[in-house]
Structure 1
């Protein structure tokens, strides 16, 4: 059924989802509040309260605002049909890998969305593990290519595809900043090696054995740093097919 609100926004309510039918004068504000309330009551996914790709906080007419978990993959595929997908490499293997990883994440229906090229659709750059590895290994060469892509396409979303994780969206400008940091770090000259240290003094340990003084004063390792953009360039699985040639 259709539900209308005082700001002239409206939604379509079904047994599995709430979809936006009209924006009204407040960009669908009351419609989104209604969808959030439905999500809380029905234990659905509130697509306006999560950052799950590819939904935004300001939805377009026809997009779901909330849905049950079983409906989410189909909703994602439906949203993907409005995108235009780009890849850094033209090799069939690169394109097939991107298609395979997206199908694993969202279901086989995603293959249909990848073949569409809607006019004016938002651009999404697909980065397979092979492309990410090439960016990491040759960051200086890749930076120029990514900056040209930004000039031509604006600031598209880069969707980082990994075999063991859900696809990770990141703004392309954000990824470029991470790569610039990587290039800057690699360009810093290494400090000369220090002269060999003199023999370490010995001290009795609590077990009665001799241990180095340095071992007694060594600090315990701290916790790992929080995940950063640079981790997007970390791809552990090895594949030599990392050609990104146009």
Structure 2
């Protein structure tokens, strides 16, 4: 890590997030609880990231119901190394998790002070189960925009037939999304190829998928147009599978934060 600049920047790009190791191995080195359980716990006002780290390091004994929160030495060492790198490196450059939005300045002039927040259950999200067609009339439609994104990932990574069929066999968008990300993690693709997927290719696939959805479903297009010039924000706690797709916090936290620091939607 200390001799590879790309890996250093990748580690630093995680900011102050909790890092957990979920690969099967020695219980002392890996985390027994998964990300979804930790995310659920962190929605509770009485549990903070400090509590999680204290329990993992065994500085504080966790409640009996949460006794599985322990181990994760790999993640703890990475977080310690991240802090040392952040303190020692003079540069503040970080690998962006998503390429810069080229038309941001233009977009700033087109929005009002109104803000509409949506979640992954919204009709604005690519997980929404709206069928879309990408070929001829004779071809069966895809169950959701997510399946379109998955097909682009299969083509981009050159996944084998068995993996492709497993990803697409479920008609449920959530299953398809999780399976796609699982296979990408296990694909053994190079760091550069994975980085280009998350920074560029995935963004283009999402844009194309949503464009097809709105073009083919007039009621959904009307719902989008009814937002007028409001700022649209995908509100969700930060999670690995969504990366930088969401704002990283829930709506109530976002609105409270915007009020406290006194900034508007254009900023």
TM-score (normalizing by structure 2): 0.20
Greater strand share, 1 or 2? Answer: 1
Q: Which has the larger radius of gyration?
A: 1
* Structure of greater relative contact order (alpha carbons < 8 Å, 6+ residues apart): 2
More helix by share: 2
